[in-house]
Amino acid sequence: MTKRSFAALCVLTVAAVVLAVFATSGRPRLEASDALGERVFPNLVKDAETLKTVAIRHGGETLSFDWDSKMWRVRERGNYPADSEKLTALIVNLARMTKVEGKTKMPDRYARLEVEDPTAKDSKSRQVALIDVNGKDIASLVVGKRQAALGNTEGGTYVRLAGDPQVWLVTGEIEAEAAAGAWLRKDIIDVKEPSIARVTVTHPNGEKIVISRAPGAQNFSIENLPKGAQPASFYIADEYGRLLTSMILEDVAPAASKAFPKDKTISAVIDGGDGFQIAVETAEIDGQTWVKIKGTPPPADKPDAEAAKAVDMRTNWGKVIGDMNARAEGWVYQVPAFQMAPLKRRMTDLLKKPDAKATAPAPAG
């Protein structure tokens, strides 16, 4: 979203929220404030044109998001792309906040509303600051506890403006998580099961597991099934086809900062039916699941008779994989453990166990 479109969105949403505030004004407690309906940051829509940085402070840490003229980036994660929609929603919510009720001015009561000093140990509050290109605060406030019972659908939040002891209940719920992972662009890639033709897994000791699906088949099978062995179930291999379905990150780090031990790294090559290929390496590092990922788009010329029908799909995968590679190059991703769980299985985990009764020796005598 550009800053110009952001400003336009603010105008629309501010108007909507003012109506919502006055819709609740019949409640006696709301009449106590002579600032009912007043916007917290009345100049933010205009000032947002110079916005450069959003900072969230908690404890001794600061999380910074910088606008690079095209997108928001997370400074503390090597300028990896931020979730622009979530960040824009935060800014818009600040622009449309209106005062509902004045609360306490006494610092000893701040903790109850979670608007205490955000730098203090065990503080539950967050400070949010919008900073312009000259390093000046456009808006700054301490965000506290949420209040659901406002008589409208969006609820409210207790806040305290920078330099002002007054605590306000304001409209809207302000998302201000202090964890970097909450603000990163989450998507890595999304490859649905029908697009997968083969998965080749290589364990650190050289053991290979090859999973494939014949054209027209509904289920995957173990291609290199040991002689005389049977799969544990008819569906045992299907999870490999979902390895890259809605693959998201929990955190990100520069590739050089995470060593993948050779004796603990599992690799997989996922081949798509349309000719693309994606290589994945995964390892457990400090108790977390980390992955490296790189894709190869479909070939420019597909030799089979279905080439003409596959043009649109091939072009699509070229873009999807190109976008993924552009983001992933030089990075490693922390992902949910379940995402890579199938890769940790050994061949013996996929096979039907011998019948204990059938293999037990006959009793003596």
* Identity of residue 147: Q
| Segment 146-187, tens digit of pLDDT | 987 666 566 899 999 988 999 999 998 888 999 999 999 999
CB 176 within 8 A of CB 143: yes
Judged by average pLDDT, the poorest of 29-33, 34-38, 303-307 is 29-33
- What is residue 36's predicted lDDT score, i.e. its pLDDT? 55
Asked whether the predicted pLDDT for residue 2 surpasses 60, the reply is no
| Dist. CA 365–CA 363, nearest whole Å | 7
Please report how many Cα atoms fall inside a 13 Å half-sphere around the Cα of residue 356, on the Cβ side.
0
Percent of the chain beyond pLDDT 70? 82
Report d(CA 248, CA 200) in Å as an integer: 21
Q: What is the mean pLDDT of residues 288-293?
A: 98
Query: What was the pLDDT predicted at 215?
Result: 84
Nearest to 126 by CA among 139, 148, 107, 144: 144
Give residue-wise pLDDT tens across range 115-132: 999 999 889 999 999 999
Q: Whole-structure pTM over 0.85, yes or no?
A: no
Task: Say if CB 139 and CB 132 are below 8 A apart.
Answer: no
Using 50, 70 and 90 to split pLDDT, how confident is the model at 358?
A: low
Q: Average model confidence (pLDDT) for the chain? A: 85
What was the pLDDT predicted at 244? 96
Q: For residue 28, how many other CB atoms are within 10 A of its CB?
A: 7
Task: Please report the pLDDT score of residue 16 as a whole number.
Answer: 40
